[in-house]
A and B are shown apart, each in its own frame.
Chain A
Amino acid sequence: MVKICVIRVGGTNCDEETKRALDELGAVCEVIHFKKIVKGKKKLSSYDALIIPGGFSFGDHVRAGAILGKEMKYVLSKELKRFVEEGRPILGICNGFQVLVEADLLPGFGGGIPQAALAINDSARFECRWVYLRVESGGKCIFTRGLKKGEVVSMPVAHAEGKFVFPKGKEEEYLKKLVGGDQLVFRYCNDRGEPARRKYPENPNGSFYDIAGICDPTGMIFGMMPHPERAAFGIQLHNWTEMEDIPEYGDGMSIFRSLMEYLGCGG
Chain B
Amino acid sequence: MGKVKKYRAKVEVRLKSGYLDPEGESAKKALIDLKYPVGRVSTAKVYEIEFAASGLRKAWMVVEEMCKKLLANPVKDDYSFEVEEIR
A adjacent to B, CB under 8 Å: yes
Contact B22 A124 (CB under 8 A): yes
Q: Give every chain A residue within 8 A of B20 (Cβ-Cβ).
A: 122, 206
Contact B75 A62 (CB under 8 A): no
Contact A114 B74 (CB under 8 A): yes
Q: Give every chain A residue within 8 A of B26 (Cβ-Cβ).
A: 124
Of the stretches A40-48, A135-143, A165-173, A241-249, the one at the interface is A165-173
Contact A124 B19 (CB under 8 A): no
Q: CB < 8 Å: which of A74, A117, A124, A166 contacts B69?
A: A74
Cβ of B76 under 8 Å from chain A: yes
Contact B70 A117 (CB under 8 A): no
Closest to B73 in A: A117
A77 CB to nearest B CB, Å: 13
Q: Give every chain A residue within 8 A of B15 (Cβ-Cβ).
A: 119
Within B23-62, which residues are at the interface with A (CB < 8 Å)? 23, 25-26
The residue in B19, B70, B71 that gathers the most chain A C-beta atoms within 10 A of its C-beta is B70
Cβ of B5 under 8 Å from chain A: no
Check A70/B70 contact, CB under 8 A, given A121-B22, A123-B22. yes
Q: CB < 8 Å: which of A62, A123, A165 contacts B19?
A: A165
| Interface residue SS majority, chain A | loop
Closest to B18 in A: A168
Contact B73 A66 (CB under 8 A): yes
Q: Give every chain B residue within 8 A of A166 (Cβ-Cβ).
A: 75
Within A163-202, which residues are at the interface with B (CB < 8 Å)? 165-168
Q: CB < 8 Å: which of A114, A116, A119, A124 contacts B25?
A: A124
Alpha-carbon distance between A76 and B25 when the two chains are bound, in angstroms: 38
Within A98-117, which residues are at the interface with B (CB < 8 Å)? 102, 113-117
Q: Give every chain B residue within 8 A of A168 (Cβ-Cβ).
A: 16, 18-19
Q: CB < 8 Å: which of B70, B71, B74 contacts A167?
A: B74
Alpha-carbon distance between A174 and B45 when the two chains are bound, in angstroms: 28
The residue in A116, A165, A166 that gathers the most chain B C-beta atoms within 10 A of its C-beta is A165
Q: Give every chain B residue within 8 A of A122 (Cβ-Cβ).
A: 20, 22
Contact B70 A66 (CB under 8 A): yes
Q: Give every chain B residue within 8 A of A117 (Cβ-Cβ).
A: 73, 75-76
Within A187-241, which residues are at the interface with B (CB < 8 Å)? 206
Alpha-carbon distance between A123 and B19 when the two chains are bound, in angstroms: 13
Cβ of A145 under 8 Å from chain B: no
Q: Give every chain A residue within 8 A of B76 (Cβ-Cβ).
A: 117, 119, 165, 167
A149 CB to nearest B CB, Å: 28
6 nearest interchain CB pairs? Answer: A124-B22, A117-B75, A124-B26, A117-B76, A117-B73, A167-B75
B binding-site residues for A, Cβ under 8 Å: 15-16, 18-20, 22-23, 25-26, 69-71, 73-76
List 17 interface pairs A-B (beta carbons < 8 Å), by A numbering. A62-B71, A66-B73, A70-B69, A70-B70, A102-B73, A114-B73, A114-B74, A114-B75, A116-B75, A119-B15, A120-B22, A124-B25, A124-B26, A165-B19, A167-B74, A167-B75, A168-B19
Given contacts A124-B26, A167-B75, 17 further A-B contacts (CB under 8 A): A62-B71, A66-B70, A67-B70, A114-B74, A115-B75, A117-B73, A117-B76, A119-B15, A121-B22, A124-B22, A124-B25, A165-B75, A165-B76, A167-B74, A167-B76, A168-B16, A206-B20
